[in-house]
Amino acid sequence: MADRFRGVPFVAKRLLGAALVLLVLATVLYALFYLVPGDPAQLACGERCSPAQVAQVRGQLGLDESAHAQYLHFLQGLFAGRDYSSGTSVQHCAAPCLGLSRQNDQQVTTLILAGLPATASLAFGAMVVWLTLGVGTGLLSALRRGGATERVLTVLTLAGTGTPVFILGLLLMMAVCAYLQWLPFPSYVPLTQDAEQWAWNMLLPWLTLGLFESAKYARLTRSSTLEVLAEDHIRTFRAYGVSERAVVTRHALRGALPPVIALSAIDLGSMMGGAMLTEQLFGIPGLGRLLIDSVRSVDLPVVVGVVLVIGTAVVVANAVADVLYALADRRVVLS
């Protein structure tokens, strides 16, 4: 009897586990507040604040409470939302409240939601590039094994892995925008504003990140294809006169792709937290830039928030990867 596919209970179980992991992560990050040197109130207020003003800020941020009480408030904000009073007005921060930015009193969730579309645009677009380019080159070099094609591709992928992403991006930008002048220097345009401009402006960032990642995918695809091609069942279909193309596309590829899918899901997950170098290089206002800026200004609530988003994305992507893996290879038992 064919095993019934147990995807839904598996995902439910995984998400529950993920919630626990994230809670632990949040707690550890929260502890960082107290480990970072310096007075948070002084940092938030600025160097020229008088002691009275610092005390006022401390009160607004709730830093005059005990660490214990602050933690409970933090959790309360996370699950139920909380209110912040800034002397005269009261600001309500809804359910997954990650606090207020110390720089500009904006809610961290607002800042994250503002950065997410740019980051998602970059990550998904880059994934399309690395899947087509990476898997394509990997397959090609596996099938042309020992030939000149493979040697050329091996050198190219090695060069790709060895080139830092910012060098690659700079070179691309210099070549395409400055020298050839095929594209203007990219500046981010939201998808909702103008889809065509969005795509043209994202083209270089996609290529940069996608090319950089595709070297890794080419190597993975190549090795896992070669592994599957050496397996006995491939020999069976060859011995039954099945054409080489059908052997590769129907049998070898199916065995070779699951690890690629799994890695893609994880990479995509971690990129949701922002591909920092690429975002910085092309001036994309995504989560990566937000994270860098907030680290620079010791804006801890924002740092904690972005890291939590990265954590969530990685955990969810992992669960999705496991389900995809099990769908592709039914011998895998989800448990």
Residues forming contacts to other proteins in the complex (CB under 8 A) are 1-3, 231-233, 235-243, 246, 250-251, 254-255, 328-331
Nearer to other proteins, 48 or 245 (CB): 245
DSSP string covering 90-136, please?
EEEE-SS---B-TTT--BHHHHHHHHHHHHHHHHHHHHHHIIIIIIH
| Structure tokens belonging to residue 281 | 């290089």
Minimum distance between the CB of residue 5 and other proteins, rounded to whole angstroms?
A: 12
The CB-of-245 to other proteins minimum distance in angstroms stands at: 12
The answer to whether 118 touches 284, Cβ cutoff 8 Å, is yes
Identify which of residues 92 and 233 has a Cβ nearer to other proteins in the complex.
233
Instruction: List helix spans (H) across 130-252.
Output: 136-143, 148-162, 165-173, 195-229, 232-239, 244-246
Q: Closest CB to other proteins among 148 and 239?
A: 239
> What is the nearest approach in angstroms of other proteins to the Cβ of residue 152?
21
Q: How far is the CB of 130 from other proteins (least distance, A)?
A: 23
Q: How far is the CB of 258 from other proteins (least distance, A)?
A: 9
State the minimum distance, in angstroms, from the CB of residue 229 to other proteins.
Answer: 12
Q: Which is nearer to other proteins, 92 or 250 (by Cβ)?
A: 250
For other proteins, the closer of residues 92 and 254 by Cβ is 254
Q: Is residue 201 within 8 Å of 186, Cβ to Cβ?
A: yes
116 vs 327, beta carbon nearer other proteins = 327
Token code pair at residue 237: 């279909």
Closest CA to 226 of 136, 137, 143: 143
Torsion sign across C-alpha atoms 103, 107, 108, 114? negative
Strand (E) or helix (H) holding 281:
helix 276-282
Mutual angle of helices 108-129 and 287-296, in 10-degree steps: 130
Judge contact between 212 and 168, C-beta under 8 A: yes
For other proteins, give the closer residue by CB, 222 or 251.
251
Q: For the chain, give the number of residues.
A: 335
Of the chain, the end-to-end C-alpha distance in Å amounts to 19
Residue 253 beta carbon to other proteins: minimum distance, rounded to whole angstroms: 10
Fill in the amino acid letter for 75: L
